[in-house]
Amino acid sequence: MIDKIKTTLAASTFALSLIAAPALAQEYGDWDTDGAAGINESEFRTGFENNTAFDTWDANDDSALTEDEFGTGIGDNESAFNDRFGDGWFNEWDADSNDSISEDEYYDGVYAGYDANNNNVIEEPEFGDVGDDMGDGGLFDI
Ligand SMILES: [Ca+2]
Ligand SMILES: [Ca+2]
Ligand SMILES: [Ca+2]
Ligand SMILES: [Ca+2]
């Protein structure tokens, strides 16, 4: 009986949280689409590609971001960006060391940045940071 009450309470709390969620919030369930627990890199890329930062920051439209293009795009969020991805993120992301970040390098780097426990999957608590950074005033709020 107690269990049934708990289940009912949990279900109604869940329903309320769905109603309360802002329409544009990033929803974990929308990104985690393959039925396997966690958001893997391809699920992440599909979701994160809805964000237009890469294209917006790519001032010369060559499908790569230089350190200058990042700097201009990130603007006032520079220290928050460094906190999120770690000092030296540019060189870490630049896997082929050509002083520019390709789209693949970008999504790899961003993904690794959110995978705080380095298990190659983004769990729901880690996903909270993705939602914050893509939301209003976030690092990737364009
Ligand atoms: Ca999944
Ligand atoms: Ca560019
Ligand atoms: Ca590169
Ligand atoms: Ca993880």
Dump pLDDT digits (tens) for 90-104: 999 999 999 999 999
Separation of CA 41 and ligand 2 centre (Å): 23
CA of 28, nearest ligand number: 1
CA of 62, nearest ligand number: 2
Token code pair at residue 50:
């809805």
Q: What are the phi and psi torsion angles at 117 (to 5°)? A: -100, 10
Q: What pLDDT does 5 receive? A: 53
Separation of CA 120 and ligand 4 centre (Å): 6
The pTM of this model reads 0.82
Low-confidence residues of the chain: pLDDT under 50: 21-23
Q: Which fold has domain 27-134?
A: Recoverin; domain 1 (1.10.238)
Q: What pLDDT does 26 receive? A: 84
CA of 102, nearest ligand number: 3
Q: What is the largest distance, in Å, between two alpha-carbon atoms of the chain?
A: 64
